[in-house]
Amino acid sequence: MGNAFMADRNGDGVLTEDEVMPGAFSLLDANRDGRADPGEVRAFLGRGRGPFSWVNPPAEDRRVPGVTHATFMSSSMGVPVGYNIYLPPAYDDAANRHTRYPVIYYLHGGRPGNESASIGIAEHVHAAIASGA
């Protein structure tokens, strides 16, 4: 398998949660079936490879609760640029108007990156915020 799969301690070609650092497994288990086989990892790494675009909303199957995609007009380039923003639960409630919350902005990652490439990390952030971490 080579260096890409060094985490596969038992050499069976399939990564399991106990073989990967905490929090990273769901990034490798793209279809969330509890297994991260080499083909699935390759498919995950190859997602979104196409012509470069400044606006890249997440695919329907990659949407994450609390994350909204929007655009702003770049004054330097004169084109719209996409971003994702994570807002925690109750952020928009009037009763919380003066409460400070952590906010995460996902901007483009440069070429060939895009603002939706690592959006799945928001699930871990949401869980940490919900747990009070």
| pLDDT at 1 (0 to 100) | 39
Contact 1, 10 (CB under 8 A): no
66, 38 Cβ separation under 8 angstroms: no
Does pLDDT of 115 surpass 80? no
Q: What is the pTM assigned to this prediction?
A: 0.54
Task: Give pLDDT tens digits for 34-61.
Answer: 766 666 656 655 555 566 778 888 888 8
**For 62-113, what is each residue's pLDDT tens digit?**
888 888 899 999 898 888 988 988 888 888 899 999 998 877 777 776 555 6
Q: Is pLDDT above 50 for 4?
A: no
Looking up tokens 């655009």 gives 71
Q: What is the pLDDT of residue 7?
A: 62
Distance of alpha carbon 59 from its chain centroid, rounded?
11
User: Is residue 3 very low, low, confident or very high in pLDDT (cuts 50, 70, 90)?
Assistant: very low
Instruction: Give me the pLDDT at residue 5, please.
Output: 44
The token duo for 108 is: 């483009």
Number of helices and strands in the chain (H, E): 3, 3
Domains of the chain by residue range = 1-46, 53-133
Strands 67-73, 80-86: pairing kind: antiparallel
- Residues 86, 62: Cα–Cα separation, whole Å: 14
Q: Is 129 a residue whose pLDDT tops 90? A: no
The closest alpha carbon to 103, from 126, 124, 82, belongs to: 126
| The pLDDT of residue 21 is above 80 | no
Who contacts 119 (Cβ-Cβ below 8 Å, separation ≥6)?
Answer: 58, 62, 64, 67, 84, 106
Q: Is the model's pLDDT at 116 over the cut of 70?
A: yes
